[in-house]
Amino acid sequence: MNACLACRRIKIRCRVSSNSSVCERCSRKSLECIFQKHRRARKPGTRTGNTTISTVPVSLQAEVTLPLDGACPNDTPGPNTSRSIGELASPGRDATERPPAISTDGLQPSGVLNHTAMSGRFSLRQILSTHDVEPLGSQKDASSFSSNDPIELRLVHYTIAHSLFGSFFTELNPYICQLDPYLHTFNYVRDRSSFLFTSILAVSSKFFNPSLHRGLYDHAQKLFTHAFQTGAKSAEVAQATLILTYWKEPQDTRAWTSLGYAIRLCMDMGWHRLTYSPELASPASNNRPREIRNIERTWYVLFVYDRSMSLQTGRPYMIERSAFIESVDLWCRDRLASDNDLLLASFVTLRLETADIFTMLRSEQKFAERQVIKVASSMLESLNKRIDRWKDRWSRAIQANTDDNGHRTCHHFLLAFYSAHAQLQLYTLPLQVIITSGDVEHSPGFEIMWSAFRNAQEMMHLIGQYSSCLYLAQDSIHVMTAYAAAFLVKLLFSVSPNLVEQIEDHVIESIRNTYSVFFKEQAPTGSSCTLQAKFLGKIYSDLAKRQLEANAVGGCTAAAQGPVDARDRTDGVATEDTSDVAILDFIGQEMPDFYLQSNDALDEWFRVAGFSMEGGYFITD
């Protein structure tokens, strides 16, 4: 009988009991036991695999496991029926005989120390190891053993799990563009990773079967902890971690750290060295091209998420732009591209378009006020046109990809919403300098202020236009909405009385309408929509009250025709704790050092209003 690959690699006897398909050594060391016939009568150097496979980083060749030849695309790879890309690339050589993945650093530590330790298993034991070790690809996802399966644990019935899984892909996945419905079938994900499988069911149950959510969510958190403790590294671990951050629990403050963990995990697998090869993704009879594309898609998602969190929190990003990131335009037009890849590509290009301008405008704030205004006006005018062209281009592309039933409506919403949000953030960069210099009523300061105001208003308008998309939207949409509302209020208390008269009614009406949209969702207590409605209700009720008081002090006889006081409304605004939080008392303070992008002041501002900008979550009572 032939020895398995693991025993053959170190040339030891392979013993298999009569009632087992796994040898004693592999069973003892928890290795992947693969039996393969010897390849005799072949000339040295003959290649029988796909020649384009060499374009994949070697570190990824060990990470992606593929079904044997002849398997159907949607077949579930079992423990004894898979092999790595490295084995397919060079059938005459084992994966560990290939050149090390990190060998270009010469005499640097990464080029001298144990290559296994430098390629994803960085530990003192690996660095000082004197024995051959199994390749990274043979390390099975630590959360994939059957005892963690939520169905076997009776956390959810098989039929319900199948329904929740399908609902995730039809309703939630279009928002995050993360998984490939052709690759990530029910059986494939269930066999591949209990962590990813449970995370999908937990998030889906939050919306479609709330009674099951707590049990599934707790189990997903248990698997997250287990994956972290054991150092499990795979695309599925990264994807499951991200899925748990898109729709967090109200008290969860780990979005920033979880994102950083996922990025570091993927860098440890060599994803930051990805290169795109169109011919690699040609149709094949197995899952290989889609699994490679799955890795690429996840890295693009991480890039967008990383840049978005950096802009949202003011903290540095981790993923640098690269040739692979910039090749997203070709990537999304590949023959294996899914419907969601188009939206993902649009977000990547938006972050690429705006990356440099944010850096330049922030550096310009160090110079004289007049210079900042002059430089910013010129740069913003040019970039604004580029963003408008970006929006038109991708809107047409998404429209052409939308079916007759209007599916993917959320894609149109997300594209327009992210566009307005990006423009709002850009225009607020120089706006504080303009306001403090007193040039807000003169050109070009007025144009910059008005553009920022207009984009914030546009974001609020889009909330009403696409109200059907709000309940399922990820938390980042609620963060952006809160930012737009808070910016409008801060602007109202930062400009001259002359400008206040022009924008006050518009600001109050916009916040009131947006509040009404979220309130009418009638979402469960503690949901993002409910917390958003409470947040906007607090702001609106204080604004309305102050406007009435100002009109009364000024002897305005038209005060009765203005917005009604929060206590007299019949549209359902919650006011039980409005008096306990003096939002506008804080926002209206004299704060000459307050910057719209300043971390400390903006964090405190949001906290008083009921939202943590640092953690990206609503503050619950």
* Cα(328)–Cα(343) distance, integer angstroms: 11
Give whole-number Cα distances, 248 to 45, 207, 236, 311, 467, in Å: 52, 12, 18, 20, 21
pLDDT reading at 342 higher than 60: yes
pLDDT reading at 104 higher than 90: no
Coil vs helix vs strand at 130: coil
Query: What pLDDT is recorded for position 60?
Result: 53
* Cα(77)–Cα(275) distance, integer angstroms: 26
pLDDT reading at 543 higher than 60: yes
Average pLDDT over residues 347-368: 76
Identity of the highest mean pLDDT range in 95-104, 342-351, 445-454: 342-351
Query: What pLDDT is recorded for position 494?
Result: 84
**348 within some domain:** no
pLDDT reading at 611 higher than 50: yes
Q: Of 248-262, 329-343, 599-613, which range is least confident?
A: 599-613
**440 within some domain:** no
Query: What pLDDT is recorded for position 436?
Result: 75
**243 within some domain:** no
Confidence category of residue 498, pLDDT binned at 50, 70, 90: confident
pTM for this predicted structure: 0.74
**299 within some domain:** no
* Cα(460)–Cα(510) distance, integer angstroms: 7
Burial 75-99 (b: 16+ CB within 10 A, else e): bbbeeeebbbbbbbbbeeebbbebe
35 strand-pairing partners: 4
**404 within some domain:** no
**23 within some domain:** yes
pLDDT in tens, 312-323: 888 899 999 999
Give whole-number Cα distances, 202 to 207, 217, 253, 468, in Å: 9, 5, 18, 22
**51 within some domain:** yes
**320 within some domain:** no
Contact between residue 340 and residue 347 where contact means Cβ atoms under 8 Å apart: no
Residue 94, domain extent = 5-138
pLDDT reading at 569 higher than 60: no
Contact between residue 329 and residue 279 where contact means Cβ atoms under 8 Å apart: no
CB burial of residue 355 (10 Å; 0-12, 13-18, 19+): middle
Give whole-number Cα distances, 41 to 37, 44, 69, 588, 602, in Å: 12, 9, 20, 84, 71
Beta-carbon count within 10 A of 368 CB: 11
The tally of domains found in the chain comes to: 1
Contact between residue 609 and residue 583 where contact means Cβ atoms under 8 Å apart: yes
* Cα(601)–Cα(607) distance, integer angstroms: 10
Average pLDDT over residues 380-397: 92
